């Protein structure tokens, strides 16, 4: 017995040692894929969608894993009292993140447009996880800051995910309104007849109906030819007429539209359908507005919506066309066309010209009200299904060929209390507007690359050179050339027009300044003198890919320093 016991113990120890060896070497058996963080500290699956609680958990894990690169804070409360969480990403060791040129990113302003949250969150994850290994990201975070609010509509996000809904509703927030005008709010909301958490379609057999089931694909109802009798009629969305007015599901959550609530060219509901009480009447939008107002270093903005595969810029309405002048449109065009290269199947478009009119939109407030170059990406396009445009019915083939039927609820019989014997079925709420899981990470990476390109081209300032000229009598002339080697100026045209942000300052210290001036034309010696406080020269703008010359007449031979201080361009220093 002792011999057997000894053998068993030896075998057990050997097995445990083998398992331990396998575990110890598991990470060593990973071959690194280019462009993907290797052995991340925060393991996240980017082929799925996260509830509000899941999103906050990931944000907190990122901040805990990378305390020198990320911090998480609440910028306000939602209608139902949830924290609207923001994650700041920058290299904190290289300066105050609030003094670096910044990129603001948010998503999920509309509750059913969920994947913007994952796109924004992926950006925070990728930047922090790649900082150690990717030199470009390291340099980017030394110079720039990213303010990321993955979801600015957390209440409705959770409602969309956890409650029965369609792919297109609810669209707004959690304020329940009387949409049908019968004096009762929310009494005729969605009824999930089969309990699958999806609101699909109801059909009923009818010898005089206008539809038949496609003989080749019974999931599809197709109209019959004129003069022929069909077999089915469509009854609309799954549900019950709870208030007896003859309509189903017409009095749901939030008839208002949070993207009609912003304080630029706002119009009331009878003009702009979906507007609420007044600009920033919704607490979620108001929280974002207040954060942006407190952070003048935000030079670029990105909001994520769905769907259609579009990179949108303003204006939202033709009435606002004059706001976007030629110089700023050139910058938008350069960024937007690069975006088309980075994200196949997406198109760079102008809202009012290529889509429809929008008043009080977030996109226009960011640019019109704050002078921030901002895009709104409409995520997901049917092009991604087959990497070509195959028409309206591609979703049926895609579900069959690549999702193996997972996106569709097969039609089944149901005894409806009002319609009698019917069939219910159709596409689930997680398909049609939202990415299928296996395409989510790829599109997240490409959209992130677009925002990184945008952030890269926010201003980068430096004192390119300093020249001295002896004038005699103890005086000398000092000329500093201030360079901005990125695409975007320190002040957009809209910013300059309305004087939204303070001027840029170029200061000299360590010498006594007699006078200071901006050199407007070196060849003709044309300058603009600043008589008051010439030690701190005010510069209206430092254009993109350009220079500004500042000149002082000074006395004294001491060492001196020159500092450039720009709200959107950050800080730059030079010392003799």
Each residue of 562-575: pLDDT tens digit?
999 999 999 999 99
pLDDT for the residue 9: 57
pLDDT for the residue 243: 75
CA distance 454 to 160: 31
Lowest-confidence region among 245-249, 456-460, 486-490: 245-249
- For residue 266, pLDDT beyond 80: yes
CA distance 326 to 331: 9
Q: What is the DSSP letter of 165?
A: B
In 73-221, alpha helices (H):
115-130, 135-143, 154-162
Domain 461-575: homologous superfamily in CATH: Immunoglobulins (2.60.40.10)
- For residue 286, pLDDT beyond 90: yes
- For residue 217, pLDDT beyond 90: yes
- For residue 506, pLDDT beyond 90: yes
Bigger pLDDT: 12 vs 198: 198
pLDDT for the residue 47: 97
CA distance 346 to 348: 7
- For residue 284, pLDDT beyond 80: yes
pLDDT for the residue 29: 85
- Summarised one tens digit per residue, pLDDT across range 53-96 is 999 999 999 999 999 999 999 999 999 999 999 999 999 999 99
pLDDT for the residue 463: 98
- Summarised one tens digit per residue, pLDDT across range 410-449 is 999 999 999 999 999 999 999 999 999 999 999 999 999 9
pLDDT for the residue 199: 92
Lowest-confidence region among 26-35, 153-162, 177-186: 177-186
- Summarised one tens digit per residue, pLDDT across range 165-208 is 888 877 776 665 545 555 554 555 788 998 999 999 999 999 98
- Summarised one tens digit per residue, pLDDT across range 521-573 is 988 889 999 999 999 999 999 999 999 999 999 998 789 999 999 999 999 99
pLDDT for the residue 255: 66
Question: At 408, is the secondary structure helix, strand, or coil?
Answer: strand
Residues forming CATH 2.60.40.10 domain(s) in the chain: 461-575
Is residue 251 very low, low, confident or very high in pLDDT (cuts 50, 70, 90)? low
User: Is the sign of the CA dihedral 280, 284, 286, 289 positive or negative?
Assistant: negative
CA distance 315 to 405: 41
pLDDT for the residue 26: 59
Residues forming CATH 3.40.630.10 domain(s) in the chain: 54-159+257-380+436-456
Please state the rounded mean pLDDT for residues 320-335: 95
Q: Give φ, ψ of 156 to 5 degrees.
A: -70, -25
Do 441 and 448 contact (CB within 8 A), yes or no? no
Please state the rounded mean pLDDT for residues 148-171: 90
- For residue 222, pLDDT beyond 60: yes
Give the side-chain half-sphere CA count within 13 A for 258.
33
Question: At 8, is the secondary structure helix, strand, or coil?
Answer: helix
Tokens of 443: 């599109």
CA distance 575 to 108: 46
Share of the chain above pLDDT 70, in %: 91
CA distance 49 to 434: 10
pLDDT for the residue 181: 55
Please state the rounded mean pLDDT for residues 467-487: 95
pLDDT for the residue 15: 54
Question: At 152, is the secondary structure helix, strand, or coil?
Answer: coil
257: left (phi over 0), alpha (psi -120 to 50) or beta: beta
Contacts of 29 (CB under 8 A, 6+ apart): none
pLDDT for the residue 523: 85
pLDDT for the residue 30: 86
Contacts of 120 (CB under 8 A, 6+ apart): 105, 106, 107, 148, 149, 150, 304
pLDDT for the residue 273: 84
pLDDT for the residue 392: 74
Q: Could you tell me the fold of the domain covering 54-159+257-380+436-456? A: Aminopeptidase (3.40.630)
Is residue 400 very low, low, confident or very high in pLDDT (cuts 50, 70, 90)? very high
- For residue 260, pLDDT beyond 80: yes
């Amino acid at each position: 017995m002792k011999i057997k016991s000894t053998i068993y113990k030896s075998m057990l120890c050997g097995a445990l040692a083998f398992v331990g060896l396998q575990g110890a070497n598991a990470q060593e058996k990973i071959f690194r894929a280019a462009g993907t963080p290797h052995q991340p500290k925060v393991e996240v699956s980017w082929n799925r969608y996260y509830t509000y609680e899941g999103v906050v958990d990931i944000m907190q894990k990122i901040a805990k894993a990378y305390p020198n690169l990320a911090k998480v804070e609440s910028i306000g409360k939602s209608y139902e009292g949830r924290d609207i969480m923001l994650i700041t990403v920058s290299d904190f060791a290289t300066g105050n993140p609030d003094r670096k040129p910044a990129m603001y990113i948010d998503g999920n302003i509309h509750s059913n447009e969920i994947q913007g949250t994952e796109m924004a969150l992926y950006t925070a994850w990728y930047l922090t996880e790649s900082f150690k290994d990717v030199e470009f990201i390291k340099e980017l975070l030394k110079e720039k800051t990213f303010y990321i609010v993955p979801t600015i509509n957390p209440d409705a996000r959770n409602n969309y995910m956890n409650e029965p809904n369609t792919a297109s509703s609810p669209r707004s927030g959690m304020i329940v309104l009387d949409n049908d005008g019968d004096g009762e709010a929310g009494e005729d909301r969605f009824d999930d007849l089969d309990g699958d958490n999806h609101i699909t379609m109801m059909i009923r057999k009818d010898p005089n109906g206008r539809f038949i089931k496609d003989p080749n694909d019974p999931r599809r109802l197709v109209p019959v030819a004129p003069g022929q009798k069909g077999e089915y009629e469509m009854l609309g969305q799954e549900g019950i007429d709870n208030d007896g007015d003859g309509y189903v599901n017409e009095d749901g959550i939030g008839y208002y539209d949070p993207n009609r609530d912003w304080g630029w060219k706002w119009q009331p509901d009878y003009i702009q359908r979906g507007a609420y009480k007044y600009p920033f009447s919704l607490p979620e939008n108001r929280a974002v507005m207040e954060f942006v107002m407190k952070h003048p270093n935000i030079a670029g903005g990105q909001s994520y919506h769905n769907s259609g595969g579009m990179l949108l810029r303003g204006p939202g309405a033709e009435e606002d066309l004059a706001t976007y002048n030629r110089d700023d449109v050139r910058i938008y065009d350069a960024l937007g066309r690069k975006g088309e290269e980075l994200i196949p199947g997406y198109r760079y478009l102008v809202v009012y010209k290529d889509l429809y009119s929008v008043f009080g939109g977030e996109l226009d407030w960011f640019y019109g009200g704050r002078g921030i170059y901002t895009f709104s990406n409409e995520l997901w396009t049917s092009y991604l299904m087959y990497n070509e445009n195959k028409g309206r019915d591609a979703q049926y083939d895609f579900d069959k060929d690549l999702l193996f039927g997972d996106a569709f609820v097969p039609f089944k019989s149901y005894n409806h209390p009002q319609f009698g014997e019917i069939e219910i079925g159709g596409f689930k709420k997680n398909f049609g507007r939202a990415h299928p899981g296996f395409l989510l990470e790829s599109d997240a990476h490409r959209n992130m690359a677009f925002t990184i390109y945008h952030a890269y081209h926010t201003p980068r300032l430096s004192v390119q050179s300093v020249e001295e000229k002896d004038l005699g009598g103890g005086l000398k002339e000092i000329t500093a050339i201030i360079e901005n080697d990125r695409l975007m100026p320190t002040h957009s045209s809209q910013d300059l027009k309305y004087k939204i942000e303070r001027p840029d300052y170029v200061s000299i210290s360590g010498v006594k300044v007699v006078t200071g001036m901006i050199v407007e034309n070196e060849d003709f010696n044309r300058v603009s003198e600043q008589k008051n406080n010439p030690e701190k020269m005010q510069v209206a703008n430092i254009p993109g890919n350009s220079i500004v010359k500042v000149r002082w007449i000074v006395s004294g031979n001491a060492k001196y320093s020159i500092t450039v201080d720009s709200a959107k361009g950050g800080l730059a220093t030079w010392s003799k």
